Structure 1
Amino acid sequence: MASALLEDHSYDTVIIIAVDIVTEAKRLAHSGLGTMTDDTPKPFDVERNGMVLGDAAAALVLRRTTDCTSHFGELVGYGASNDASGLTTPDLSGDSVRLAIQRAFKPAKIDAQDISVYLAHGTGTHINDEIESKVIEDIFNQNGRLKILGTKGALGHSLGACGLLEFIILIHVLKKSALPPTVGLSEPMPNIKNRFREDLPVSLHTNTGITVTLGFGGFNTALIARVG
């Protein structure tokens, strides 16, 4: 929405703020869904068994690139989709996640080969990580240098704040051109085993990355960032 407001010149500057805090009601709700773990979250690990919630607040100032004399990074593509599968369970085929990613490629004028890092939703739940790992390999199977990063093992799942938070993290990763480790991951799922940083820092092969969010109600978003 913020990009649309800039693109149609409704506003010249948009400030985006996202905040979410852990409450007892949220803990109880997610415990009832069976998505929580009492251990460390293990995104994309063969032994993953759930997520933990986390507090977060994030803010971003968005302007048209043509109006900026300098900037920290660019939002060059975005895509969204809804699988209408259910309130809490995503479509197991992953088709709508693929659609969101493919839609983001179009305004960015890039393809899967141009992406160096995929900052994953990576909740550490069985269903999410299974769907997302299949989508990654389907879309990026020809991009042998793509690396995956998951942040929720370190930060928890901040629900409504995680999309903006992880976009900002993605820009920082691209600026440093180095992949941090995925906290909690020790034995990656076999189909994406070689997509993560191991012991040594990994340099990124392009200045462009993508972050993907899978939300309740089947709503999926993909944001593509580029740094200069």
Structure 2
Amino acid sequence: MAGTAFAPSSSGLIFNQGKELSARNGSSLFQYNGLKVVHPIQVKNGFISTSAKSRRIKAMAAPTVSAPKRETDPKKRIVITGMGLVSVFGNDIDTFYSKLLDGVSGITPIDRFAASEYSVRFAGQIHDFSSSGYIDGKNDRRLDDSWRYCLVAGRRALDDASLGKEVLDTMDKMRIGVLVGSGMGGISAFSNGVEALVRKGYKKITPFFIPYSITNMGSALLAIDTGLMGPNYSISTACATANYCFFAAANHIRRGDADIMVAGGTEAPISPTGVGGFIACRALSQRNNDPEKASRPWDKNRDGFVIGEGAGVLIMESLEHAMERGANIIAEYLGGAVTCDAHHMTDPRPDGSGVSSCIIKSLEDAGVSPEEVNYVNAHATSTLAGDLAEVNAIKKVFKDTSEIKMNATKSMIGHGLGAAGGLEAIATIKAITTGWLHPTINQYDLEPEVTIDTVPNVKKQHEVNIAISNSFGFGGHNSVVVFAPFKP
């Protein structure tokens, strides 16, 4: 970037088409090219002109480059003190990660609705889900599955953080917020309401049609259930949703809006409308005869993603607050970032520039250098364009990938859309705490451009130094979050 001007604060610099600059004070400034001073800038009559004179100032004014600095303020350092999920492998975190380490596929034929006439008849569908102990029977029957998953995952995360009802009742609930997003909201509730309208007329629409359809209801219901009165809303950025929620939740804590945030994503799209809609987008794998091998990120023979569902929720807490209450600290959230491709509704930029800029910004926010990162939980949906665009972006940022390992959780559980980042954040944190990376299954014929270790088919032991978790969504939404082992 040529000709960028740096000035003392309140100098009032005005850029005019990149050619002339003006300043409201009478100070001398310096013109920079990158990090080197090129020549001094003289201010005359309110306008800045450059001169080749007095080049001796160059050596005196050259800026120094400092290494990235991590946050040290315990009020702004953010730690993970609890995790909760609902997944194809059940609701227990250790069972979930054990299945991932074993390379088990959770992809099965759809039996929730009659899918025999659909061109795609399999999914990462949750079977035998129970909300017992978390949602009363009447509400359980009324709720869209997306909100059922949210309530169970959120409550389990709070329990994991030793924040059950009795403890919460002793705390300032105005300082605890909820930010659980969804890409599609209550799609079954919405579809049922439309069907009632078309078949029987508007008088037969349930009064719960609107409340259980709108995307903010996960956060709202979880707050109503627990009495948490801090920041509360939902973010909906398609498949990037959960990471957006983590990023925003962390910033609420850093700004002092809250001490604790319950954050993540939830989704229940396996319905006639959800599956049919993605078939229409031509986004799904059609490997009906071999569903367990359908999700195959980076494999040459991949033919689309496998739709999944579930919820993943983290308890994010300021280090100061966590230490004051003696919480068990699982890992540390170092930072994150969000960007937009501004390119296409469904396709990523082929060169991965939107993603690479997001990764760079996340590392800047985290205060770490690219050389410190040695694990990537990739978005890796098993689509033709998306998988390679992400790899291109990663290789742009990390010039030497010899020490990096990268895997794809979606190869086993499918693509949970708005919940994907939440489930993958939990997988990332479990990799940090266990020292084991789950495999990317169905790796038979790797794309030649993929020169990073994808942990093919078999788990690997790996001490994670810094991990990033990527999530990208329709509309060009990019999100990256950074986690690390907690070190006091």
| Letter in structure 2 aligned against 1:23 | S
Task: Name the SS of the counterpart of 1:60 in structure 2.
Answer: strand
| Residues 183-192 or 71-80, more deviating | 183-192
| Letter in structure 2 aligned against 1:127 | A
The structure with the largest alpha-carbon Rg is 2
Report Cα offsets for 1:192-227 as digits up to 9, x if no partner: 245122466433244210011111111100001011
**Counterpart among 195, 205, 211 of residue 453 in structure 2:** 195
Tell me what 1:68 maps to: 322
Q: CA deviation at 1:94?
A: 1.1
**Counterpart among 277, 281, 290 of residue 33 in structure 1:** 281
Q: Separation in 1 of the partners of 2:320 and 2:344?
A: 40
Conserved 8 A contact 1:78-1:224: yes
Conserved 8 A contact 2:283-2:304: yes
Q: Separation in 2 of the partners of 1:92 and 1:130?
A: 8
RMSD: 1.6
Provide closer, same or farther for how the CA distance between residues 108 and 194 of structure 1 changes in structure 2, counting only shifts above 3 A.
closer
Conserved 8 A contact 2:295-2:410: yes
Q: Separation in 2 of the partners of 1:225 and 1:134?
A: 22
Q: Separation in 1 of the partners of 2:458 and 2:412?
A: 18
Conserved 8 A contact 1:18-1:58: yes
Q: CA deviation at 1:187?
A: 2.2
Task: Name the SS of the counterpart of 2:256 in structure 1.
Answer: coil
**Counterpart among 412, 420, 423 of residue 154 in structure 1:** 412
Does the alignment pair 1:180 with 2:427? no
Off by >3 Å, runs of 4+ in structure 1 = 198-201
Q: Separation in 1 of the partners of 2:370 and 2:460?
A: 19
Does the alignment pair 1:24 with 2:272? yes
Provide closer, same or farther for how the CA distance between residues 194 and 16 of structure 1 changes in structure 2, counting only shifts above 3 A.
closer
Does the alignment pair 1:56 with 2:310? yes
Q: Separation in 1 of the partners of 2:281 and 2:471?
A: 19
Tell me what 1:105 maps to: 363
Conserved 8 A contact 2:355-2:478: yes
Tell me what 1:14 maps to: 261
Q: CA deviation at 1:170?
A: 0.4
| Letter in structure 1 aligned against 2:317 | R
Runs of 5+ unmatched residues, structure 1: none
Task: Name the SS of the counterpart of 1:164 in structure 2.
Answer: helix
| Residues 153-162 or 131-140, more deviating | 131-140
Q: Separation in 2 of the partners of 1:111 and 1:32?
A: 42
Provide closer, same or farther for how the CA distance between residues 26 and 200 of structure 1 changes in structure 2, counting only shifts above 3 A.
closer
Does the alignment pair 1:143 with 2:401? yes
Structure with greater contact order relative to length (CA < 8 Å, sep ≥ 6): 1
| Letter in structure 1 aligned against 2:267 | D
Q: CA deviation at 1:11?
A: 0.9
Tell me what 1:89 maps to: 347
Conserved 8 A contact 1:83-1:91: yes
Q: CA deviation at 1:136?
A: 1.8
Q: Separation in 1 of the partners of 2:346 and 2:401?
A: 31
TM-score, normalised with respect to structure 2? 0.45
Alignment size in residue pairs: 228
**Counterpart among 156, 162, 168 of residue 426 in structure 2:** 168
Runs of 5+ unmatched residues, structure 2: 1-247, 288-293
